Structure 1
Amino acid sequence: MTAQHHDLTGGLVTFLMDTTLATIPQSAVHQGVRGFVNWLGCAMGGRHQPETMKAAAALLPLAGFGRSTVIGHGRLTDCMTAAFLNSMSSSALSYNEYHPDTVLHPVGPVAAAVAALGEECGLDGKGAVEAIVIGVEVAIRCGIALLKPPAQAHTGLSPTGAAVPIGVAAAAAKVLRLNAAQTRAALGLATGQAGGLRETIGAMSGAFIPAQTVRPGVIAALLARQDFTCTPHVLEGPHGLLAVFGGNSTAENMLENVGTAFALESVSYKLYPGGVWIHAAVDAALAIASRKSLRENDIAAIDVHVHPRAVEIAGHSAPRSAREAQASLPHWVSAALLRNKAGVAEASDEAVQNPAIVSLRSRVRLHADGNLAVTAARCAVTLSNGEVLEHHVQHCRGSIMTPASDTDLTEKFIDQVDYAGYKDGAAIAQQAWEILDCSDISQLLQQC
């Protein structure tokens, strides 16, 4: 254990032992409910996506018996398989959530693990929300320790893959009611399995990383319940996660205000099914489309100014599939301008192959602007007659400065589940919002 890191794992264990739903501020509890609603809608919405179906085909024939629901498949299975598949489906449309400072996607994996383990344990809604809030808190604090300067994590490291397994282990420890020694072991075992590479983004493998994060955490907690031991400082030790992946991380603020300030309150919920880098430009394109109905042959050129990382990550101008289009600024700007919408249908293979959208993508010019925040964009559409339509977005919808409302999340829920073929999306959404009153989460999940 290095001097500057002290006993960070011990601090997290104390937080887990001391924190209950009664000690969590009501504002954070409500964010836990919002996180559950968002995860469930995304998991239902992604049930028929290719990556979900292929993963189910690969794993379900070999899965064990259990009481955990595979959402959208009408089947119960073992908790690890259910958690993996439900996390996979919740990220398949890239319609999930993110933490702005770290670009972690912690809520979906944590909620999937809590739901699957909770069904095995007869967990009620209050216990589920409690575990979600705590698990997300641990994941984000670990992510900040890895990524906040002077830490020097490589840009190719997946923050979700590196930090979220620890949060899943924390949530699982809470569901399984582990004692302090067992909880420390669970956190250490999960930390020892952390990892993942951003090079996977752009194919089905992009959904694999958040799905895979549930397994280290769940396995770690189940092993720890049987008093399987682990060295005590896998997070902060000289050969631990922070030293190996975090570079010069000091993690001085990792435990600051722990138990009183909750990071879930700073999580942003996506209102478009694509990477965070496309959202501000989509807002700008939709604003222009709402002012004037446009056809493909009306438009001569489109200039989009965004943060440099947005150009780097989402500059793909010729996506061949819905998955590739999720991280394609040219696709999303073109689709939004022509359809005046940016929902699940605009992220489909049909939209990716639509001749008008394909043609327009080639006229999108991306400009890296270091003065723009990730949540900002400028868009200028030059029409064939020389007219220029412009719009500047400072903070995109869904960002921490312009957060998604509960109504936004309900509409998003219904849009996804209706598109996925459910007939009662509004009713299930209402039940999800009432999760705190649920005596057994299986009653809700087995309807999905």
Structure 2
Amino acid sequence: MAATDITGQLARFMVEARDKSLPPEVAQAGKHRILDTLAAMVSGARLVPGEMATKYTRRQGGAPESSVLATDLKTSAVNAALANGMFGHADETDDFEPVTKTHPGCSVVPSALAMAEREGSSGEELLRAVVLGYDVCCRFLYALGPDLVRGGHRSAEGTGSTMGSAAAAASIAKLNEAGMRYALSYAAQQTSGLWSWVRDVEHVEKAFDFS
């Protein structure tokens, strides 16, 4: 692997992180963020973005792999992650990273939960995946520079949330280094988003974008 192979370095880091014990303070912080996001998801399920996400997911159907929180729905892991992510950012009760101005929880936690339920993962595997997702989400934006992301019409969440949730899901899926490379590549293709959500007074587009 060449010294300049940044994708390879990150892929290897993601694989190794899956089997590393978390420092106690990091584990505690990760648990707190999972609980915080779950609370935001439960309350958000009854707000307009949550109701729209539930309606959409019910119509989509899908294999009963993962639960949509605060509903009677089980659907594909992809659909569950989207719905729960919209619940999580239905208003502004989810967490916030002040330097990058991103909201990691509403994307990372739902993706990890959906995949963990589908794969029958342990609580420790879920926690490590969430911590990795937060790490990747925020560090991508640190590397790009918050001013670069926020300086135009681009949305920080389009980058951070996408890469972070992909990292969490890939960790649960136990991808090898090559698989992690593919996951990063596919996630990078999906990074997008404009600040048009600032005009959405009902918070629906914002919840969708941030999930």
| Same-fold status (TM-score > 0.5) | yes
Distance (Å, rounded) in 2 between the aligned partners of 1:152 and 1:83? 25
The C-alpha deviation readout for 1:342-377, integer Å capped at 9, x for no partner, is xxxxxxxxxxxxxxxxxxxxxxxxxxxxxxxxxxxx
Residue 64 of structure 1, aligned match among 62, 65, 79: 62
SS where residue 74 of structure 2 aligns?
strand
Residue equivalent to 1:181: 178
Structure 2 partner of 1:208 = 208
* Greater share of residues in strand: 1
**1:9, distance to aligned residue in structure 2 (A):** 1.6
- Among 152, 155, 160, the alignment partner of 2:152 is 155
Whether the 8 Å contact between 2:33 and 2:105 is mirrored in structure 1 is yes
Structure 1 unaligned blocks of 5 or more: 212-448
Distance of 2:190 and 2:155 partners within structure 1: 13
- Which residue in 1 is equivalent to 2:50? 52
Cα drift, residue 202 of structure 1: 4.3
Q: CA deviation at 1:114?
A: 0.6
Instruction: Report if aligned partners of 2:47, 2:90 keep a CA contact under 8 Å in 1.
Output: yes
Within the candidate set 34, 37, 43, 1:36 is matched to 34
**In the superposition, relative to structure 1, how do residues 21 and 97 fare at CA in structure 2: closer, same or farther (>3 Å)?**
farther
2:163 maps to what in 1? Answer: 166
Larger radius of gyration: 1
Q: Which has the higher contact order (CA 8 A, sep 6+)?
A: 2
CA distance in 2: counterparts of 1:46 and 1:163, whole angstroms: 21
TM-score (norm 1): 0.44
* Number of residue equivalences: 206
- Distance of 1:160 and 1:88 partners within structure 2: 13
Partner of 2:125: 127
Q: TM-score, normalised by structure 2?
A: 0.91
Letter of the 2:165 partner, please give it: V
**SS of structure 2 residue aligned to 1:95:** coil
| Residue equivalent to 1:103 | 101
- Residue 27 of structure 2 aligns to a residue whose secondary structure is helix
1:136-285 mapped onto 2 (5 Å cutoff): 136-148=134-146, 151=148, 154-203=151-200, 204-211=204-211
Question: Residue 184 of structure 2: SS of its match in structure 1?
Answer: helix
| C-alpha deviation, 1:59, in angstroms | 2.9
- Displacement of 1:88: 0.2
- Larger relative helix fraction: 2
Corresponding position of 1:80: 78
The 1:38/1:78 distance shift into structure 2, 3 A limit, reads same
Show the counterpart of 2:7: 9
Alignment partners' CA distance in 2, 1:148 and 1:61: 38
Letter in 1 for 2:41: A
Instruction: Look up the equivalent residue of 1:167 and give its one-letter code.
Output: G
**Aligned equivalents of 1:35, 1:202: Cα separation in 2:** 28
Preserved CA contact (<8 Å) 2:85 2:110: yes
**Contact 1:114/1:132 (<8 A) preserved:** yes
**Quick one: structure 1 residues 20 and 58, their matched pair in 2 at CA, closer, same or farther if it must change by over 3 Å?**
closer
Cα drift, residue 7 of structure 1: 2.4
User: Helix, strand or coil for the counterpart of 1:129?
Assistant: helix
Q: State the 1:61 CA deviation.
A: 1.5
* TM-fit CA distance, 1:13: 1.1
**Aligned mates of 2:4, 2:156 — CA distance in 1:** 23
RMSD: 1.7
Per the TM alignment, residue 62 of structure 1 is displaced from its structure 2 partner at its CA by 1.9
Tell me how far apart the structure 1 counterparts of residues 209 and 192 of structure 2 sit (CA, whole Å): 9
Q: 1:202 to 1:33 in 2, by over 3 A?
A: farther
Deviation at 1:117, TM superposition (A): 0.9
Q: Percent identity?
A: 27
How far apart, in 1, do the equivalents of 2:65 and 2:179 lie? 24
In the alignment, the residues of structure 2 paired with residue 41 and residue 116 of structure 1 have an alpha-carbon distance, to the nearest angstrom, of 16
Which amino acid in 1 is paired with 2:169?
A
Once residues 113 and 146 of structure 2 are traced to their aligned partners in structure 1, the CA distance between those partners, rounded to angstroms, is 31
User: Per-residue deviation at 1:6?
Assistant: 2.8
* CA spacing shift, 1:70–1:92, aligned 2, 3 Å: same
User: Is the CA contact (8 Å cut-off) linking 2:141 and 2:149 kept in structure 1?
Assistant: no
